[in-house]
Structure 1
Amino acid sequence: MRIVTASEMYAIDRDTIERIGMSEESLMENAGQAVARALLERLHPSMRIAVLAGTGNNGGDGFVVARMLKSYGYCTDVWLIPPKEKVKGAAKKALDIYENAGYEVKLYSGNEQTFVEQIAHYDVIVDALLGIGVQGAVRSPYKEIIDMVNRTNASVYAIDVPSGIPADGGAADTAVRADVTITIQCPKLSAYTFPTADYYGELVVVDIGIPPLSVARNAEFRSTWEEADVVRTLPKRQKSSHKGTYGKALVIGGSKRMTGAVTFTAKAALRSGAGLLTMAIPEAIYSVVANRIPEAMYYPCSSHDGYFSGEIDLSHLDVDAIAVGPGIGRTEGTKNVVKTVLSHDVPVVLDADALFFWNEYAPFVRKRSAATIVTPHPGEMARMLGVSIREVENDRFGVAKRLAMEYGIYVVLKGPYTIVTTPDGMQYVNTTGNPALAKGGSGDVLTGMIVAFLMQHRSIQEAISNAVWIHGKAADFLVEKGHSQLDVLATDVIEEIPNVLFHLTTTKSAEVF
């Protein structure tokens, strides 16, 4: 499912009208009917419904929605907020059809007090006020109306985006807090960035018949990564395979203060199908870590004060992929270890403290022929780029794309709706996970899953996106099975990986993993 900016959506509409040949009126009719069908699945005929309409296409969609609801016998009022003469174009046509069908419009202008008295008595409010064209602060009377909507006890359904929300994300001073947002054709960036995503409620996407060609030639590639994508791309295991078939992974990390992180990564990699796994750890913590994962091999390395000294010899190791960083610490030894790892011509995952000295070894990354994957959370990304966390959060798609393309790397920008960006700038948004993952160790688990999947998938992007999706789905399963979002541990996520894999591999059309 493609994700677009406001300007891209406008370009897609123009392309569909001018080059494909569909009329603006037919697109509006399709949109309104699609939204109405989604509402009919959720609303009871006894509910009293208010459709709040503005002047633009969002209001036009609202007129079609209201006409459809009324034709099915639903008690529906349309409140037109601006004066009727301000409604133009396709929206005016939709309004004319609504009235020609024998339905009445309630005018807000001149009836403000009546609106205030009645708005609190609706069971459902359909927000068709502003749409994706919002720029700057919401002005009167929309500001006051939105505040009233947010104070009601009604269920609020927004059409396309909640009114007042910038389609491309960012701060929202005044905006509708929807229970459900029914987005037309393509979700907008603000549905996957914060704080705006919090205003959407449940996101429902409806298709209105815009040809994929119009989307492809007018929007950059951003797409959600769904369960169907995971099922489609999980690799098939051959009967003749052996442990070497599924890769030899090396996990480098751990220190005297953080002995658990590297263990999480290693165990998650094994749970995710890695054939063989070696843990390179400082020799000072070997006795603490060595008995935790009997399935792993161990490589104790020279240490200083409980951390890697910086001297690490990889020449005698036969490995297919390396993950470095979990629990490793921010020392000069870490910097030297990472530089040594980057000289190895295999895929490398850089996580946690391995990202701390990014600017000092970024030049090495540009020269690598094998894939490099970085997995920063917003704070780490901010440090890597020399910007504030707020700047990262306000432009998650943009900063991830710039970093990936500048260095020719895969960027996994973690957080709600983790974004996976490829070296050519294609972006895939994860759709699983919940706040249960907001706990130490979760990122270490994901790193292990990524390094394991890299060795089993033909496509690096598919390997990363599948790891991210399954990681989030494990947390979702845990909460569905009785865990709260407070109590989930990293070890719980690891132990839930088999259940997610079983679910995926028994889904209809899935191949045996």
Structure 2
Amino acid sequence: MRIVSGEEMYEADRFAMEEIGISGVMLMENAGKALFEAMKSRIPKEKRVAVLIGTGNNGGDGFVLGRYLKEHGYDVDIWLIPPYSKIRGDARTHFDIYRSLSYSYRSYEDGVAFARDIQNYSVVIDCLLGLGLSGAIRAPYDEVIRQLNRSSATVLSVDLPSGLHANGGYVGEGVPVRANKTYTIQCPKLGAFLYPDADFYGDLEVVDIGLPQAAFSSVFNRELWQKSDVHRTLSDRSASSHKGSHGKGLVIGGSKGMVGAPVMTAKAAYRSGAGLIQASVPDEILSVVAGTVVETIFQGWSSREGFFSGEVPEDLSSFDGIAVGPGLGRKPGCKSVVEAALSTTSPLILDADALYHLAELKGCLKARETPTVLTPHPGEMARLTDLPIEEIQRKRFEISRSFAKEFGVYLVLKGPNTIVTSPDGSQFVNTTGNSALAKGGTGDVLTGMVLAFVMHSSSIQEGISNAVFLHGQAADTLVQTTHTTLDVLATDVIATIPTVLHSFLNQHHG
């Protein structure tokens, strides 16, 4: 499912009208009817409903929606917030249709009646501003939104909560509508996946209004990666497979005080379908980790004071995938190991301290010709780009795309709605996971999962997106069944990978 910017959505509307010949009035009719069909089960017939209407297309959709609600016997008031003279174009056409059916509406005017009556509605539908907001929220909308947010009504927003911008970037000026649910038209907008904007959306539902795919031909390739995509791309082992056909992987990491990280990475890789895993750790900690995952081949590399000294004693080209970084440390010898890994021809996953060192090895990164996957959290991304964390969070899509294209990497920018960006700039937004993953070690687990999936998937992007999805799904499963977001450990996530894989792969055989 595509994700679009506000500008891209306007362009798709324009294309549908001017190039294809679908009238704006018809698009608005389709939108209002589709919204009614999506909302009707959510609105009890006996409850009082208000539809708040502003100028522009969002308000026009509201007139159509209000008409359908009235025709189907709902107890609904239509509140026109701007003066009647401000309703123009296609929205005016639908307002005239609404009035020609002798349906009444209420006018905001000075706001006294509105302030009194807003408390009496059980459901309020927000058709105030939608995509149409430019700049700050102006009167009287600011006051209307304040009163709406103070009411106890269930709030349903159309397209996006009024007061937000489609592309995100809310910085605390003015107060947007705080929706319980947002019914977004045709495609989700960028802001629904950026924080703090996403906090205002409530649940998100996409309402298809029949815009043809051709209208989106010029849109950047940004998609939601959903359950259906995992079903489509996740493959089981064939009967003839052997350990070599599922990848021989290498995990390089660990240091004094960080012995658990590479162990979790190795175990997660095995749980995610890797054929064989070797873990190379500083020789001083080898005896501590050697028995932890009995399936793993452990190797000790030369170390100094519990950290890699920098020598790489074996040929790395024999591995089908290499993950570097979990528990690695920031000593000079660790940087040399990262540099050696960058010079191999094996697919490479860099995480944690490997990303710390990578900030000074970008030339080596650019020179690589085989696939490289980086899995930074926003702080690590800030170091890689020399940008403040706040800017990374505000422009997650743009910064991810420009970095992935410039350095030819697969970039996994972690956080709520993790974004996987391919070297060609196409982006895939994850839909699983919760705050239980904000805990030490969960990133090491993801690294192992990505390593395994990159080695046994036919497409690297699909493999990474599936690893990210299943990692989040494991956390969701734990929280929905036996845990809370407070008590999930990274090892719990590893232990839940089989359950999640079983739920996908068993259905293939059903």
Asked if these proteins are the same fold (TM beyond 0.5), I'd say yes
1:152 lines up with 2:143 in the alignment: no
> Could you say which residue in structure 1 is the equivalent of 2:59?
59
- Equivalent position SS for 1:102: coil
What is aligned with 1:167?
166
- Kindly report which structure 2 residues correspond to 1:51-450, keeping only aligned pairs within 5 A, or say none: 51-110=51-110, 112-171=111-170, 172-173=172-173, 174-215=175-216, 217-315=217-315, 318-450=318-450
Cα distance between partner residues in 2 of 1:65 and 1:474: 39
**Structure 1 residue matching 2:42: 3-state secondary structure:** coil
Residues 44 and 316 (structure 1), Cα distance of their counterparts in 2 relative to 1, 3 Å cut: closer
Q: Structure 1: which amino acid aligns with 2:373? A: I
Instruction: Judge which range, 314-323 or 69-78, deviates more.
Output: 314-323
Over 6 Å off, 4+ runs: none
| Contact residue 351 and residue 375 of structure 1 kept, 8 A | yes
Amino acid at match of 1:60: G
Contact 1:279 1:297 in 2 (8 A): yes
1:262-287 per-residue CA deviation (whole Å, 9 max, x = no partner) reads 11111000000100000000011111
Distance 1:447 1:357 in 2: 17
Q: Deviations over 1:222-267 (max 9, x none)?
A: 0000011001101232111111110100000001121111111110
Q: Deviations over 1:397-445 (max 9, x none)?
A: 0000011000000000000000000001000000000111111111110
Which stretch of structure 1 is more off in the superposition, 360-369 or 430-439? Answer: 360-369
Distance (Å, rounded) in 2 between the aligned partners of 1:325 and 1:490 = 17
Could you tell me how far 1:482 is from its partner in structure 2?
2.6
The code of the aligned residue for 1:141 comes to P
Q: Distance in 2 between matches of 1:426 and 1:186?
A: 16
SS in 1 for 2:120: coil
State how far apart, in whole Å, the 1-side matches of 2:36 and 2:356 are: 51
Secondary structure, counterpart of 2:14 in structure 1: helix
Say which is worse superposed, 235-244 or 120-129, in terms of deviation: 235-244
Distance, in Å, in 2 between the alignment partners of 1:238 and 1:461 is: 21
Displacement after TM superposition at 1:134 (Å) = 1.4
CA contact (8 A) 1:416 1:434 kept: yes
| 8 Å CA contact retained: 1:234, 1:511 | no
Provide the aligned length of Structure 1 versus Structure 2: 508
- Give 1:316 shift: 6.9
CA distance in 2, matches of 1:167, 1:154: 24
C-alpha separation in 1, matches of 2:154 and 2:301:
60
SS in 1 for 2:76: strand
8 Å contact 2:338–2:357 — kept in the other structure? no
Partners of 1:135 and 1:389 lie apart in 2 by: 25
* Unaligned residue ranges in structure 1 (runs of 5+): none
Is the Cα–Cα contact under 8 Å of residues 236 and 511 in structure 1 kept in the other structure?
no
1:387 and 1:317 map into 2 onto residues whose CA distance is: 34
The question of whether the paired residues in 2 share the 8 Å contact of 1:184 and 1:208 is answered with: yes
Describe the SS at the equivalent of 2:329.
coil
AA in 1 matched with 2:118: I
Counterpart amino acid of 1:328? L
CA distance in 1, matches of 2:186, 2:317: 50
Counterpart Cα distance in 2 of 1:442 and 1:185: 34
Cα offset for 1:22? 0.6
Within 1, Cα distance between the matches of 2:17 and 2:316? 63
CA distance in 1, matches of 2:316, 2:195: 46
What does 1:427-506 align with in structure 2 at a 5 Å threshold? 427-506=427-506
DSSP-derived class of the 2:229 partner = helix
Deviation at 1:360, TM superposition (A): 2.1
Cα distance in structure 1, aligned partners of 2:453 and 2:257: 28
Q: d(CA) in 2 for partners of 1:246 and 1:192?
A: 34
Q: 2:456 is paired with a residue of what secondary structure?
A: coil
2-side partners of 1:378 and 1:7: how far apart? 26
Aligned-residue offset at 1:133 = 2.1
Give the equivalent residue in structure 1 for 2:36.
36
CA distance in 2, matches of 1:194, 1:14: 29
SS where residue 22 of structure 1 aligns? coil
Residue 49 of structure 1 contacts residue 125 of structure 1 at CA under 8 Å; is this kept in 2?
A: yes
Q: CA deviation at 1:317?
A: 6.8
User: Aligned partner of 1:342: which letter?
Assistant: L
C-alpha separation between the residues in 2 aligned to 1:125 and 1:361? 54
Which shows bigger deviation, 354-363 or 425-434?
Answer: 354-363
* 1-structure distance, mates of 2:236, 2:316: 31
Structure 1 CA distance for aligned equivalents of residues 202 and 102 of structure 2: 34
RMSD between aligned residues: 1.1
Larger displacement relative to structure 2 (164-173 or 346-355): 164-173
The answer to whether the Cα contact below 8 Å between 2:251 and 2:324 also exists between their aligned partners in 1 is yes
**Aligned 8 A contact 1:328 1:353 in 2:** yes
Q: Match for 1:97: what amino acid? A: I
Q: 1:345 is paired with a residue of what secondary structure?
A: coil
TM-score if structure 1 supplies the norm length? Answer: 0.98
SS state at 1:190 partner: helix
SS at match of 2:300: strand
Does the C-alpha gap of structure 1 residues 317 and 387 become closer, same or farther in structure 2, counting only changes over 3 Å?
closer
Give the Å deviation of 1:474.
Answer: 0.4
Alpha-carbon contact 2:317-2:346 (below 8 Å) kept: no
* Counterpart code for 1:4: V
Paired with 2:233 and 2:314, the residues of 1 have a C-alpha distance of 32
Following superposition, the deviation at residue 176 of structure 1 comes to: 0.3
Q: Quote the offset at 1:370 in angstroms.
A: 0.8
Please, which runs of 5 or more residues in structure 2 have no aligned partner?
none
